[in-house]
Amino acid sequence: MSSPFIALLRFLGFLLWTLAALGPYLLLLAVGWKGYSRYARGYFRVCCRLIGFQVKPRGAPQATAKPVLYVANHASYLDIIILGSLLDGCFVAKSEVAGWPGFGFLARIAQTVFVDRKRGRTAKERDQLGARLAAGDSLILFPEGTSNDGNRVLPFKSSLFAVAQMSAGGGAPLPVQPVSVAYTRLDGQAIGRALRPYYAWYGDMTLAGHLFAALGLGRLTVEVVFHPVVTVADFADRKALANHCHDVVAHGVVSALAGRLDDAKVVARRPAPRAGAETAALAGG
């Protein structure tokens, strides 16, 4: 089903485009340009076209305030290309990503914030994230902490929502926008469980083998749902915030995979906060 010829053509297109875009980007960084996230968004949009991805957003990213914390489900490294084509922001990734061949280099120059899961590093990472927010950079976080098979959304780690307790500037709570990413159709036909592992990366899958298999398939449709914005002040603590974000993201993924995505229900209506939200929880839970 996966064509090695098509995969090679798409990979060469991706590689040549990356090399062409890299020089001007590095030059702009060297002179202190702050618009790197917008440049990266344009880069990822071209990448999506080159590798046969059609990205269909539902709703829109938060546009009335910056910075923003975007929290999304995570099925694959391909999520980075998808979200990078829609969002102006810096990804938050586990430290191991920095060492990945090729992708690690791209992640570093894209100003990705790498977090170490070892104990004793929390304060340092909090300072690093706080500095990015103070500079006005939005952050893109995968709070599951790992990728999965694409059929479900794993529980969100409430510890990763500590960044949501930081100020967005002027003492205002940091806006948090849940985002659902679902790989839904291949050449117009619904993707079932048998095909989803071509795009979901998990277990002992190799990066190179998985990438070439995915690139050799047809035209992929990816639906991205932007849910209503909340803040930690709307909930009793950051665990309640994490649970809320998980629920709405999981609902969006399930609805998209089932072909029952309804904008009026999934995007337009802001879900009610959980009990106890009247006491702002900026101290954490």
pLDDT above 60: residue 191: yes
For the chain, the average pLDDT equals 83
Q: Which helix (H) or strand (E) holds 107?
A: helix 103-109
Residue 85 lies in a domain: yes
- Return the higher-pLDDT residue of 145 and 42: 42
Number of domains composing the chain:
1
Residue 219 CA to residue 270 CA, distance in Å, equals: 33
| DSSP-derived secondary structure for 238-278 | HHHHHHHHHHHHHHHHHHHHTT---HIIIIISPPPPPTTTT
Asked if 89 and 71 touch (Cβ cutoff 8 Å), the reply is no
Predicted local confidence at residue 270, as pLDDT: 60
Residue 45 lies in a domain: yes
pLDDT above 90: residue 267: no
Residue 163 CA to residue 42 CA, distance in Å, equals: 27
| DSSP-derived secondary structure for 33-94 | -S-HHHHHHHHHHHHHHHTTEEEEEES----SSSS-EEEE--S-THHHHHHHTT--SEEEEE
**Residue 160 CB coordination number (10 Å):** 18
Strands 176-186 and 189-190: antiparallel
CATH number at 82 reads: 3.40.1130
Residue 9 lies in a domain: yes
Predicted local confidence at residue 264, as pLDDT: 63
Q: Which helix (H) or strand (E) holds 176?
A: strand 176-186
Residue 234 lies in a domain: yes
Predicted local confidence at residue 37, as pLDDT: 77
Residue 221 lies in a domain: yes
Structure-derived torsion over alpha carbons of residues 191, 192, 197, 203, reported in degrees to the nearest 10: 140
Q: Model pTM?
A: 0.88
Structure-derived torsion over alpha carbons of residues 87, 42, 134, 160, reported in degrees to the nearest 10: 40
How confident is residue 285, by pLDDT bands cut at 50, 70 and 90?
Answer: very low
How confident is residue 239, by pLDDT bands cut at 50, 70 and 90?
Answer: very high
How confident is residue 215, by pLDDT bands cut at 50, 70 and 90?
Answer: very high
Residue 274 lies in a domain: no
Predicted local confidence at residue 276, as pLDDT: 47
Residue 213 lies in a domain: yes
Give the model confidence (pLDDT) of 39-98 as tens digits. 888 999 999 999 999 999 999 998 777 899 999 999 888 998 999 999 988 888 877 777
Which amino acid would we find at residue 201?
W
Residue 187 CA to residue 182 CA, distance in Å, equals: 15
Domain assignment of residue 113, given as a range: 4-268
Predicted local confidence at residue 33, as pLDDT: 77
- Return the higher-pLDDT residue of 97 and 159: 159
For residue 55 the two structure tokens come to 């990205």
HSE of 148, CA atoms in CB hemisphere, 13 A: 18
Predicted local confidence at residue 272, as pLDDT: 58
- Smallest Cα–Cα separation from 79: which of 197, 181, 178, 10? 181
CB contact burial 244-261 (16+ within 10 A = b; e otherwise): bbbbbbbbbbbbbbeeeb
Angle between helices 36-50 and 4-30 (to 10 degrees): 170
Give percent of the chain above pLDDT 90.
41
Residue 94 CA to residue 125 CA, distance in Å, equals: 11
Give the model confidence (pLDDT) of 90-135 as tens digits. 888 877 777 776 677 777 777 788 887 665 555 667 777 888 888 8
How confident is residue 279, by pLDDT bands cut at 50, 70 and 90?
Answer: very low
Predicted local confidence at residue 227, as pLDDT: 94
Asked if 91 and 80 touch (Cβ cutoff 8 Å), the reply is yes
